[in-house]
Amino acid sequence: MASLVPFDTQRVFIGGRWEAAARAETIALGNPSDGSVLAQIARGGAADVDAAVGAARAALGGAWGRLTATERGRVLAEMGRRVLAQADELARLEALDVGKPLKQGRADAVALASYLEFYGGAADKVHGETLPYQAGYTALTWREPHGVTGHIVPWNYPMQIVGRSVGAALAMGNACVLKPAEEACLTVLAFARIAHDAGLPAGALNVVPGLGEEAGAALASHAGIDHISFTGSVATGALVQAAAAAHTVPVTLELGGKSPQVVFADADLDAALPYLVNAGIQNAGQTCSAASRILVERPVYEAVLARMAERYRALRVGPALADHDVGPLISKRQHEIVSHYLALARDGGLRIAAQAELVADAPAGGHYLRPTLVADVPDVHALAQEEIFGPVQVLIPFDGEAEALAIANGTPYGLVAGVWTRDGGRQLRMARGLKSGQVFVNNYGAGGGVELPFGGVKRSGHGREKGFEALYGFSALKTVAIHHG
């Protein structure tokens, strides 16, 4: 175990120091690839969150709060350089902890470095305005940090979500209290060490591992928190928002999705095919923005189905460190949830068009599930309406733009959508008509683009992270009107 995780995982990070949690209990961290116990993490609770909030508040009045925006940016840039230098080790930890293949873990480490580079460079680029007003007045605005921001991040993309939320919050001068997911937090703990070594002043970043119902709930309801950023399920997001509302604290929620890719008959299928499949099976489908619905215009429906099925049958599922196409699901519980939906498909007589192959040497204790392509799915079926959070994609035929929009918008979610067509007018009509926080035309994801604001509508949440919008979200606008006659 010690050789797999080369640092003490049983501590909380508060005020620039690693220390024991208030309660002498730990939580077992499982290895999704073989079911073994990977490490024990601290079971932080309300007392630790309270100490972390106090340390963050002290940092605002101390060394961290005294830095200029330019100086904050330099610290973030140095953090980014150190992350990039340790990308291979971070990828290994992410593969062990989350179960994603090494190549995906490394992409996440590089993305974390990119966020830090972007927000490091943007820290001193957020400007106020001078407003035209009545004679005898000068009116202006500037942006100030909220103060102490709370960050509750999920297990599926710890590095990326820390980058886009904590990175932006620090760039604006906030001090952060971070609660990582109890299922996967090794790279978050490693990141705290990197930040400290890079010169981030004590208390600017505090990390309290623990259970969601304990440490997470304590953070969301703490009276000393000035803003909450939460990424996770709709149900938990509603609880976080309700807890924060008791103190009228603003909340950024990035919740679930049931994202469609809409393929018209004039689409470039050769260009679309990799995106159609990869966006559904990346990280074993455990992605809020996963393209879980593929809507295809009837003239090319069977062709798209055949080509996607061929790709599915070529996929290999196996241990994360073996770096196959797909790794295991995060836990036994998640495996059971996804298996339930596959049972619904089979019991309902839906067509299982193709499945990936599980490698022969996959450990019996791993949480493996073969990615599955389901065809001819009615748009009202549970598989087409509910977030499965696993490597399951459904194909739905449609006729024309109006029906495509109706089906695409016909779920409670609105996070991401993709459109494939050569028709320029249709591209714009669909982009305007889709109820979604992001729309990608003739691509999906745009390479992850840290510059692109991300967030949802409807039950997919509200507020935006990534890009400059995150900086605005992690700050408050102050208006100053000076009467000088």
Q: pLDDT over 70 for what percent of the chain? A: 99
Indicate if 254 belongs to the active site.
yes
The active-site residue out of 176, 185, 288, 297 is 288
pLDDT the model gives residue 447:
83
The active-site residue out of 94, 214, 254, 465 is 254
Note the pLDDT tens digit of each residue in 122-174. 999 999 999 999 999 999 999 999 999 999 999 999 999 999 999 999 999 99
> Is a pLDDT exceeding 80 seen at residue 3?
no
Instruction: Please answer whether residues 273 and 307 qualify as being in contact, where contact means their C-beta atoms are separated by less than 8 angstroms.
Output: yes
Note the pLDDT tens digit of each residue in 265-282. 999 999 999 999 999 999
Write out the H or E segment, with its range, that includes residue 276: helix 269-281
> Is a pLDDT exceeding 70 seen at residue 444?
yes
Instruction: Please answer whether residues 387 and 228 qualify as being in contact, where contact means their C-beta atoms are separated by less than 8 angstroms.
Output: no
> Is a pLDDT exceeding 60 seen at residue 304?
yes
List, in sequence order, the alpha helices (H) in 26-153: 46-60, 63-66, 69-85, 87-98, 102-122
Q: Token pair of 284, please?
A: 């074993």
Note the pLDDT tens digit of each residue in 341-386. 999 999 999 999 999 999 999 999 999 999 999 999 999 999 999 9
Q: Token pair of 205, please?
A: 């970043």
Q: pLDDT over 90 for what percent of the chain? A: 99
CA angle 54, 60, 61 (to 5 degrees): 95
Instruction: Please answer whether residues 81 and 128 qualify as being in contact, where contact means their C-beta atoms are separated by less than 8 angstroms.
Output: no
Instruction: Please answer whether residues 192 and 166 qualify as being in contact, where contact means their C-beta atoms are separated by less than 8 angstroms.
Output: no
Note the pLDDT tens digit of each residue in 14-73. 999 999 999 999 999 999 999 999 999 999 999 999 999 999 999 999 999 999 999 999
Note the pLDDT tens digit of each residue in 203-259. 999 999 999 999 999 999 999 999 999 999 999 999 999 999 999 999 999 999 999
pLDDT the model gives residue 393:
98
Cα-Cα-Cα-Cα dihedral of 237, 152, 67, 61, to 10°? 80
pLDDT the model gives residue 448:
85
Indicate if 288 belongs to the active site.
yes
DSSP secondary structure code for residue 380 in this structure: T
